[in-house]
Amino acid sequence: MNNPFQPSAYDNAIPTANRNSVLRNTYLLLALSMVPTVIGAIVGIQMQFSFFAGRPFISFMLFLGVAWGFMYAIERNKNSGLGVALLLGFTFFMGLMLSRILQVALGFANGAGMIVLAAGGTGAVFFTMATIATVSKRDFSNMGKFLFVGLIVLLLAIVANIFLQIPALALAISAVAVLLFSAYLVYDINRIVRGGETNYVSATLAVYLDIYNIFISLLNLIMAFTGERD
């Protein structure tokens, strides 16, 4: 097993300038990806878009199918401009999906404030985790298998609660998701810093999904504990 405080095998394989370039381009594309996300969310709110209405399990499976289809296409075309276009299309789709929880939040008297608080909390988590991943001399690559197992368990819990509809379990899922995807942020950004990820499109996709899931989970928790009905 690798010593986490020793340089990983790819530390010296990728020039530092190239790693910095990938990280810089990742952050730039990540910032750009927020534009279609916001546009998609606004369009969804205006249309009162509700992808999960009716049959939640079928809708959830359909959502996963569309999302994974996008991600597969992005990975296949990550070395071309088409990969960037697909990524931006995917973030627009994710913005549409985000609109449902935003509609629920805006139904509270303090809805706008809760959304701002969740966004601010997500930004704080991102800044903290990115700093840890960038500044720390530790190699976090050995977290990958543990995080993947955690992700599978989380998905199974989400599917189970579609049928069980237990509020306490929903809160537990959101709390675990915040912790899991915060750890994923450290893992994904650290891979870029250490040269384990050399494509900024793939890197942006991974970091975007981390941030997206943290925001949704935080908003769920904030609504549960601070939501004020009219």
CA angle 44, 51, 168 (to 5 degrees): 105
The total domain count for the chain is: 1
Cβ atoms of 186 and 68 closer than 8 Å? no
Tell me whether residue 1 is in a domain.
no
pLDDT for the residue 223: 96
What's the pLDDT tens digit per position in 1-12?
333 333 444 444
Structure-block tokens of residue 173: 């899922």
In a domain, 39, yes or no: yes
pLDDT for residue 56: 82
pLDDT score of 125: 98
Q: Can you tell me the distance from the alpha carbon of 230 to that of 139, in angstroms, rounded to the nearest whole number?
A: 49
Would you state the structure tokens that stand for residue 95, as one six-digit string? 């913005």
In a domain, 133, yes or no: yes
Helices (H), 48-166: 56-76, 81-106, 111-135, 144-164
Assess whether pLDDT exceeds 70 at residue 161.
yes
Q: Residue 87's domain spans which residues?
A: 16-226
- Which amino acid does the sequence have at 60? F
Greatest CA separation found in the chain? Answer: 59
Q: Which amino acid is located at 108 in the chain?
A: F
Q: Which residue has the higher pLDDT, 57 or 129?
A: 129
Question: Taking Cα atoms as reference points, which of 209, 212, 206 lies closest to residue 191?
Answer: 206
Residue 10 lies in a domain: no
* pLDDT tier for residue 51 given thresholds of 50, 70 and 90: low
Q: Quick check: is 73 in a domain?
A: yes
Q: Which two tokens stand for residue 90?
A: 């995917």
Domain annotation covers residue 9: no
Asked if residue 5 is part of any domain, the answer here is no
Q: pLDDT tens digits, residue range 168-206?
A: 999 999 999 999 999 999 999 999 999 899 999 999 999
pLDDT tens by residue, 112-156: 999 999 999 999 999 999 999 999 888 898 999 999 999 999 999
